[in-house]
Amino acid sequence: MQSRRNFIHKITASAISIPLVAGISPKIFGLTETAYHNESELKVAIMGLGSYANRVADAMKDCKRAKVTGVISGTPSKIKDWQARFNIPDKNCYNYENFDGIKDNPDIDAVYIITPNALHHPQTLRVAAAGKHVICEKPMSINAQEGREMIEACKKAGVHLLIGYRMHFEANTLEIVRMRREGELGPIRFFQGLSGFKIGDPTQWRLNRELAGGGAMMDIGIYAINGARYMVGEEPIWVTAQEVKTDPVKFREGVDETITFQLGFPSGAIASCLSTYNMNYLDKFYLNGDKGFAEMQPSTGYGPIRSWTHKGRLDLPHVTHQTTQMDQMAAMILDGKKAIIPVDGEEGWKDMVIIDAIFEAVKTGKKEEIKYL
């Protein structure tokens, strides 16, 4: 029988989840503190102990609902270091050969995959087969076909598949989405998304087609694509795209340096976007409607995010993105809470469909229809 305490926690959590689904102002996010007083905690093993994994794990120290309980890594010295930092016992440490053994480990509920892009697909299939929930970094895969297979594998295994779209939980982003949904910007006509940075070391996996699945588009351009979708609030139906390559040695065949692309939406709204590995200070969103506008710069960096609209500055308080993301994802997995902007496999897959269409448009030079099939 369920204890009174558990019952109260359940009621509190579901009472909180209703306004979140309805899309209330993130200004009252403080309220979600109540929901966090739930006893259950998501036990997470991190796979791939690289630069972003360190950022995520450090942010998770402040989580109330999620905890790092295990690691999967190909580097024994990193495992030792993480064991000391996060108090992880030997029995919760795995490598890429033996991690299927997580199946029998009750200390691990979910695996957060933070490895090079092309590995996300095979690793997701294995984690799902082991019966554990999957949180997978963006891009979820290197094409839509693989993304679809990941969704099917998780569905078949009865586990969640969530994509690491941390901006979907960010306060400024959510406030602008609320304003747009409630008609404060009027009918949306135009979005501009500029996403890029100058990439360094030419030997890194991000410039290796086999591991990255492409170049800037998979890594950073995806923010402009995903942002266009949640800012406009529709799924694009056509794309045109143009590629520019100034350094074909660093950016080899199949590794895009700079791509400009345009998206068309069912309402007639349009988007103009830039994805690049060759320009700095490119992290900007602009959304235009008949009754107002919203602008964000930086729009997707680690924060603080700066934003303003026709009504004035927003600049909502900064909370480490990955802390909020992991607490919210834990609530989704453990309590069935819904995200205001989805972070499920279907959401990740739509970005992959659009990326496939952008690459096709670059090749053909034509306007390509985007088919969500």
Please report, as ranges, the residues that interact with ligand NDP according to CB under 6 A.
48-53, 73-75, 78, 114-117, 119, 137-138, 164, 166, 205, 211, 219
Min separation Cβ 295 and ligand NDP, Å: 21
Min separation Cβ 122 and ligand NDP, Å: 11
Distance CA 97, CA 60 (A): 26
Q: Which is nearer to ligand NDP, 74 or 89 (CB)?
A: 74
Q: Which is nearer to ligand NDP, 48 or 289 (CB)?
A: 48
Min separation Cβ 320 and ligand NDP, Å: 12
Q: Which is nearer to ligand NDP, 289 or 348 (CB)?
A: 348
Residue (of 160, 180, 176) closest to 168 by Cα position? 176
- 3-state SS class at 316: coil
Distance CA 47, CA 114 (A): 6
Q: Which is nearer to ligand NDP, 105 or 115 (CB)?
A: 115
Cβ within 8 Å of residue 371, ≥6 positions away:
353, 357
Distance CA 88, CA 146 (A): 32
HEC string of 165-182 equals CHHHHCHHHHHHHHHHHC
Distance CA 350, CA 335 (A): 25
Min separation Cβ 292 and ligand NDP, Å: 29
Min separation Cβ 164 and ligand NDP, Å: 5
Cβ within 8 Å of residue 69, ≥6 positions away:
43, 44, 45, 88, 92, 107, 108
Q: Which is nearer to ligand NDP, 137 or 356 (CB)?
A: 137
Distance CA 358, CA 262 (A): 9
CA 101 from chain centre, in angstroms, equals 27
Distance CA 171, CA 65 (A): 19
- φ, ψ dihedrals at 294, nearest 5°: -140, 140
Q: Are 67 and 109 in contact (CB under 8 A)?
A: no
**Residues forming the active site:** 138, 223
Element housing 66 (H / E):
strand 66-72
Q: Which is nearer to ligand NDP, 115 or 195 (CB)?
A: 115
Classify residue 1 by burial, with Cβ atoms within 10 Å: 0-12, 13-18, 19+.
exposed
Angle at CA 140, nearest 5°, toward 138 and 146? 160
Report the residue closest to ligand NDP, judged by CB.
Answer: 50
Min separation Cβ 360 and ligand NDP, Å: 22
Min separation Cβ 279 and ligand NDP, Å: 18
Q: Which is nearer to ligand NDP, 35 or 60 (CB)?
A: 60
